Structure 1
Amino acid sequence: MKPGMKRIKRVMLPLMVACCMLMTAAQLKAQYVQKERDDTIRLWPKGTFDTVAARYALQEGNGTIKGVAFTRPNKTIYGRTGKRIYANKIKVVLFPVTPYLLEYLDLRKKQNPKKLKFVYLSPDAYRFRLEAVTNSTGEFTFPKMKPGKYYIQGVLGWYSSGYYDRYTGSGYNGYGTTNYYSRELYTTDHSDLLEKFVDVDNDGQVVEVKLK
């Protein structure tokens, strides 16, 4: 290739790239730009959250809430329910029970992710909470609790597995048709919401709960 042609190619390549960028920018710029659709239905409690009452409910006391978090598969094995799956290192959240929280929990029954319908807790209501982390056997503790009514929850992720026969094809012989299958392993992910209302009746009381 002649030296002049190489120089022309070196000049033309950046020009072509610049032209493509300008054409792309011109295509994105217009008088009318269609907005993205947002079909999400957002539901909020209508009541007013009482921050003063929530702050008072979370003041320190002398009680203790001790618990173990676990789930149990629904399938039955020889007439028994599945083995316990303990919540290993999950976060357990505690809220003081207020009229606002009760309205939220009732409204949450209408939540339907398939229809893009979601229920939200106000930032103030979410701010007034306590958190604990379970150990490998699902145990957790909330110390220094004063008498009152509380709601605790956690989300436990787990999976199940099994085998199925996957069809791989058919063969023909003098006796007819033979279908062939291969044994395949499958896994299914699960996410269980663990929740419970807890009452601390007396100052200094130790309440033991099963969060499931």
Structure 2
Amino acid sequence: MKKINALLLITLLVLGWSCSAVKEADRKANKNKITTLYPEAVFDSIQAKKAIGYGKATIKGVLFTRQKGAYGIKPLMGGKVYGTNLTVSLFPVTPYFEAWYEMRKSKENKKTYVYMSDAAFRYRIDAKTDEYGRFVFEKMKPGKYFLQAMMSATFARNGQEYTGTGYTPYGNINYYRNKTYYKDQHERMEKFIEVEKDGSVVAVNLR
């Protein structure tokens, strides 16, 4: 009888541990769960195709960034880092696009991503930047557009590293040495622009 009770106790402990492990795994999974949202608006491909049709205007721009300082603010006079050999995407601003953008502004966070449909994403024009971050979209018609680029840059930062403490009759002395730190800066660069007249040239700083 004692052996049976011991086996029963061991079995209950194992089952309890298994349930606890499952609950812990579920908790971690729910904590890291990513929610994906799409606009409920209906995408009109004919409207998008018409909005991105051919014209005589030109959009010329430069993609660049500056190192963020305290509180994530970029100094106006800081040195520029140009986005080299990167893709800049141009989207026509349609009612569907506006619904996507408004949803992204209100609902996107670290655990919620807001995407446009695959069909809507196809109606865009891509341009490559050169070594100076320059890009150009030619033969554009008047209308409202949205520019987007993903850019990463590495910045060097000088600081001090603690190396130890010295003890003297007058108190303790902390020792430091100069050290260079490197920090990656990842950004989603975006901007709305408008071509008002056919044949015009629109200059853009995408930063």
Separation of aligned partners in 1, 2:171 and 2:125: 68
Name the counterpart of 1:185: 180
Q: Could you say which structure has the larger radius of gyration?
A: 1
1:207 to 195, 202, 207: 202
1:140 Cα deviation after fit: 0.7
Q: How does 1:31-180 map to 2 (within 5 A)?
A: 37=29, 39-75=33-69, 81-109=77-105, 110-113=107-110, 116-180=111-175
SS in 2 for 1:107: helix
**What is the letter of the counterpart of residue 103 of structure 1?**
A
1:80 Cα deviation after fit: 5.7
1:143 Cα deviation after fit: 0.9
**What is the letter of the counterpart of residue 104 of structure 1?**
W
Separation of aligned partners in 2, 1:141 and 1:80: 24
Separation of aligned partners in 1, 2:170 and 2:196: 77
SS in 2 for 1:81: coil
Normalised by the size of structure 1, how large is the TM-score?
A: 0.74
SS in 2 for 1:203: coil
Q: Does 172-181 or 47-56 show the bigger shift?
A: 172-181
**What is the letter of the counterpart of residue 95 of structure 1?**
F
1:50 Cα deviation after fit: 0.8
Separation of aligned partners in 2, 1:148 and 1:179: 62
CA distance 1:202–1:105, shift in 2 (3 Å): same
| Alpha carbons 1:75, 1:82 under 8 Å: kept | no
SS in 2 for 1:106: helix
1:71 Cα deviation after fit: 2.1
Separation of aligned partners in 1, 2:172 and 2:133: 53
| Alpha carbons 1:74, 1:82 under 8 Å: kept | no
Point out where structure 2 has 5 or more consecutive residues left out of the alignment: 1-21
- In the alignment of these two chains, the number of paired residues is 175
Identity across matched positions, percent: 40
**What is the letter of the counterpart of residue 182 of structure 1?**
R
Separation of aligned partners in 1, 2:166 and 2:123: 66
Separation of aligned partners in 2, 1:80 and 1:49: 39
CA RMSD of aligned residues (A): 2.2
**What is the letter of the counterpart of residue 168 of structure 2?**
N
Normalised by the size of structure 2, how large is the TM-score?
A: 0.75
Separation of aligned partners in 2, 1:162 and 1:204: 45
1:74 Cα deviation after fit: 4.6
Point out where structure 1 has 5 or more consecutive residues left out of the alignment: 1-33
| Alpha carbons 1:49, 1:125 under 8 Å: kept | yes
